Amino acid sequence: MGRAARIGTLCLSGGEQKNYSSVTAMIRAQGMWFKDAEGRTLILRGVNLGGSSKIPYTPRVELSDPRFYNDRKVSFVGRPFPLEEADEHFTRLREWGLSFLRLVVTWEAIEHPGPGEYDNAYLDYLCAVIQKAGAYGFQILIDPHQDVWSRFTGGDGAPGWTLEALGFDLTKLRETGAAMLHDWKKDRPPLLIWATNYARLAPATMFTLFFAGNDFAPETKINGVSAQEFLQQHYLAAISQLAVRLREMPHVIGYEVMNEPSRGYIGWKNLKSSGQFRYWPTPSPYQGMLLGAGLPQRVWFKMTNVKRERAWLPDANCIWKENGVWDFDSRGQPQLLRPNYFTSVQGRATSFRGDYYPRFARRFAETIHQIDPRALIFVQGEPGEPAPSVNAAELPNVVYAPHWYDGITLMVRRYLNHLGVNMLERRVVLGAGAIQQSFAAQLNVFRHEALHELGGVPVLLGEFGIPFDLHTRPFLRAADELLTTRALDRSFRALDANLMSGTLWNYSSDNTAERGDSFNGEDLSIFSRSEQNDPTDINSGGRALRTVARPYPRAVAGEPLYLHYDWLTRVFEFEFRHDPAVSARTEIFVPQYAYPDGIEVQVSDGTYEVRERALIYLHDAAHELHRIVIKPRA
């Protein structure tokens, strides 16, 4: 392969809303790749916007505030940021090359006033934000976000009335162990403790009813409608309210079915057994049912619910007692009647990933495609679990969007250069080189699943990132910045090695040192107001920018083959095989942050020009393979 070397410099001029990318048309899925209207292969890089969108903008209250449970009188207008701040944040994200936005939207934000009552002020505001994003050249994925069902079960997502409609008393969930909630300013519990809620009574019940209520809770109805149908109808109708407003915006490319769905109790083999995630004292499902009924239980070494509070409203009873899972015997003692109740239906083994999730995903896709036939549908399995059995032949326009994190760094909030974990195989990995290889191999599993399980579809890594409160030492700020850069770069290098699209978790416009991302003690935002020393500098407040603001191929006139970037030397290398049917040029994003003095470009053939944070390359069709190298200008 011949090499021709030329020198180029970045053009830093541009209008207030000038778009640095030529990728503006609707994105489509073709085989394992994203494609634009000109047939170029796209590698989408962006960010989740934003972490604080999980909670209302007004009022901003903690659990200890009585207004916390006044959940129908809240507003999410201002999430992800007030409209008057949009220019600032979009300019910053565009400057860093994060041109693809996974927009966090909760069901609660849309339908918090009550069943069928929509917050039109929020919908209008959100559409204005999305419209402005389009003017800046962003593509948008709508993420109907949830974590452990709802704010009232320790996470975010569904409105409080969904729990009340099934008989739960929101104010008693914490005391009965039905959900773990914290006042994070006071309690300071361990990070990720909220995830133990997946096995607790309230979230596990709601997920089971949502996906499989017809099979497992046939006796449970709301005004004559099954719990499953009631919940799914309202969820789909809420997302449809947004989809109707967005269908004329071509930069809104698609919708996720649901963020990090959970099986609830589906497939639980023994209700007396606790789950695998034994990170914190958590009752078994059966204990959780008894605790919710007001019966104290010893969970690990501590008696729980000694005050005999009930998780249910006065006129409601335990759903699982009513559906024959447990009952009281003749002596008034509780007894588990069907310990493996959730493992089969009429003799057929149950499968969340093989049956219930795919069934709902198809219903979701049908609903969205009735409104917007061009929309891509993004699916994912439970975190750490295999891909759902959703095949491209049955579900058109599907994309696989799993999540993956550097597990050790996330859990212990430390950067350990020689200690890692394979999150998929649940094993420890030792040695810096082995860790990097393991990270790349773990992401490659997703590509394998997309090909062999889903029938050959694109992959978007929907979430990856690190906590930025590593080794918190204010007097060693520069050293900590180096650690976070090294930690996050391992994930980026794994992404590059797989030529994979991805969206960082996350960008929170109101992140501060005190509140983090405003959700459960997390601090993963790549921007923080507390670290913004110079508001006139668009990069001020950015975190780990030496790896975040990195060059990458946005649009390729063929098949990407190799991608590597070294944040220390700032050397970028890319190789691809051109497609004879594509005449458009290849586009590389080149961040001004990484190359303030310009760039030196080496290409194997063809010609190029540098403009507006981008290298535009026209290959020589006489050569099949092409190579581009970018270095800092000497």
Gap between the Cα atoms of 520 and 182, Å rounded:
8
Cis peptide before 264 (omega within 30 of 0): no
pLDDT in tens, 264-276: 999 999 999 987 6
Pick the closest to residue 480 from 550, 548, 413 (CA basis): 413
Please, is 622 exposed, middle or buried when counting C-beta atoms within 10 Å of its C-beta (0-12, 13-18, 19+)?
exposed
Q: Where are the alpha helices (DSSP H) in 273-425?
A: 285-292, 319-322, 357-371, 407-412
Residue 213 in tokens:
């209520």
pLDDT in tens, 278-303: 567 789 999 999 999 999 999 988 99
pLDDT in tens, 182-215: 765 555 666 667 888 999 999 999 999 999 999 9
Do 529 and 631 share a structural domain? Answer: no
Return the SS3 of 213: helix
Share of the chain above pLDDT 70, in %: 92
Give the residue from 553, 578, 599 where a domain finishes. 553
Do 504 and 363 share a structural domain? Answer: yes
CA 143 vs CA 51, 256, 601: distances in Å: 12, 5, 38
Give the pLDDT band (50/70/90) at residue 5: very low
Residue 421 in tokens:
């974990």
Kindly state whether residue 441 falls inside one of the protein's structural domains: yes
**Residue 246 pLDDT greater than 60, yes or no:** yes
DSSP3 helix / strand / coil % (the chain, rounded to 5):
30, 25, 45
Do 613 and 482 share a structural domain? Answer: no
Pick the closest to residue 398 from 103, 72, 28 (CA basis): 28
Give the pLDDT band (50/70/90) at residue 18: low
Pick the closest to residue 146 from 249, 42, 257, 236 (CA basis): 257
Can you tell me the mean pLDDT for 132-153? 98
Pick the closest to residue 11 from 614, 458, 540 (CA basis): 614
- CA 246 to mean position of chain CA atoms: 21
pLDDT in tens, 29-82: 999 999 999 999 999 999 999 999 999 999 988 787 888 999 999 999 999 999
**Which 3-state string (H, E, C) describes 598-614?**
CEEEEECCCEEEEECCE
| CB contact at 8 A, 499 and 478 | no
Residue 438 in tokens:
């393991």
Give the residue from 522, 553, 584 where a domain finishes. 553
Do 485 and 432 share a structural domain? Answer: yes
Q: Which residue has the tokens 């989408």?
A: 44
Kindly state whether residue 549 falls inside one of the protein's structural domains: yes
- pLDDT computed for residue 194 by the predictor: 82
Residue 630 in tokens:
């970018």
Neighbours of 564 (CB within 10 A): 13
User: The CATH number of the domain where 28 resides is what?
Assistant: 2.60.40.1180
- pLDDT computed for residue 308 by the predictor: 98
Q: Amino acid letter at 518?
A: S
Q: Where are the alpha helices (DSSP H) in 31-77?
A: none
| CB contact at 8 A, 529 and 105 | no
Which residue spans within 477-596 are E strands per DSSP?
A: 501-507, 552-556, 558-566, 571-578, 586-589
**252 — phi, psi (to 5°)?**
-85, 105
**To 5 degrees, how large is the angle CA 402–CA 403–CA 409?**
155
Can you tell me the mean pLDDT for 589-618? 97
Do 20 and 98 share a structural domain? Answer: no
Do 53 and 35 share a structural domain? Answer: no
Residue 129 in tokens:
């934000």
Residue 386 in tokens:
């295999």
Do 535 and 410 share a structural domain? Answer: yes
Q: Which residues of 250-261 are buried (b: 16+ CB within 10 A; e: fewer)?
A: ebbbbbbbbbbb
From first CA to last CA, the distance across the chain in angstroms is: 25
Q: Where are the alpha helices (DSSP H) in 380-460?
A: 407-412, 432-452
Residue 190 in tokens:
């361990």
pLDDT in tens, 416-461: 999 998 888 888 999 999 999 999 999 999 999 999 999 999 999 9
- pLDDT computed for residue 1 by the predictor: 38
Cis peptide before 189 (omega within 30 of 0): no
Range of the domain at 597: 1-40+558-634
Q: 95, 111, 256, 260: which is the annotated catalytic residue?
A: 260
**To 5 degrees, how large is the angle CA 458–CA 259–CA 192?**
120
Kindly state whether residue 218 falls inside one of the protein's structural domains: no
Residue 455 in tokens:
């029938």
User: The CATH number of the domain where 496 resides is what?
Assistant: 3.20.20.80
Which residues are within 8 A (CB) of 346 and not within 5 positions of it... i.e. 6 or more apart?
A: none
Gap between the Cα atoms of 135 and 292, Å rounded:
51
Can you tell me the mean pLDDT for 558-573? 99
| CB contact at 8 A, 50 and 525 | yes
Dihedral angle sign, alpha carbons of residues 173, 177, 180, 181: positive
Q: Which residues of 377-413 are buried (b: 16+ CB within 10 A; e: fewer)?
A: bbbbbbbbeebbbbebeebebbbbbbbbbbbbbbeeb
Do 357 and 486 share a structural domain? Answer: yes
Give the pairing type, strands 302-304 and 326-328: unpaired
- pLDDT computed for residue 334 by the predictor: 98
pLDDT in tens, 98-139: 999 999 999 999 999 999 999 999 999 999 999 999 999 999
Gap between the Cα atoms of 484 and 491, Å rounded:
11
**Residue 484 pLDDT greater than 60, yes or no:** yes
Note if 463 is an active site residue. yes
Kindly state whether residue 20 falls inside one of the protein's structural domains: yes
Gap between the Cα atoms of 10 and 595, Å rounded:
8
Task: Give the mean pLDDT of the chain.
Answer: 93
Do 605 and 511 share a structural domain? Answer: no
Gap between the Cα atoms of 49 and 46, Å rounded:
9
Q: Which residues make beta-bridge pairs with 326?
A: 336
Gap between the Cα atoms of 278 and 269, Å rounded:
16
Kindly state whether residue 231 falls inside one of the protein's structural domains: no
Q: Which residues make beta-bridge pairs with 102?
A: 48, 141
Give the residue from 532, 553, 574 where a domain finishes. 553
Do 591 and 500 share a structural domain? Answer: no
Kindly state whether residue 462 falls inside one of the protein's structural domains: yes
Note if 382 is an active site residue. no
| CB contact at 8 A, 492 and 545 | no
Can you tell me the mean pLDDT for 16-23? 57
- pLDDT computed for residue 190 by the predictor: 66
Share of the chain above pLDDT 90, in %: 84
Give the pLDDT band (50/70/90) at residue 17: very low
- pLDDT computed for residue 64 by the predictor: 75
Quote the number of domains for the chain.
2
Q: 111, 463, 522, 587: which is the annotated catalytic residue?
A: 463
| CB contact at 8 A, 51 and 89 | no
CA max distance for the chain: 89
Of the two residues 164 and 64, the one the predictor is more confident about is 164
Do 153 and 52 share a structural domain? Answer: yes
**605 — phi, psi (to 5°)?**
-170, 175
Do 1 and 136 share a structural domain? Answer: no
- pLDDT computed for residue 423 by the predictor: 81
Residue 498 in tokens:
């797989």
Kindly state whether residue 211 falls inside one of the protein's structural domains: no
Which residue spans within 343-426 are E strands per DSSP?
A: 344-345, 348-349, 376-379, 398-400, 419-422
Kindly state whether residue 281 falls inside one of the protein's structural domains: no
**Which 3-state string (H, E, C) describes 8-44?**
ECCCCCCCCCCCCCCCCCCCEEECCEEECCCCCEECC
Rg (CA), the chain: 25
Neighbours of 416 (CB within 10 A): 14
**Residue 474 pLDDT greater than 90, yes or no:** no
Pick the closest to residue 336 from 321, 348, 350 (CA basis): 321
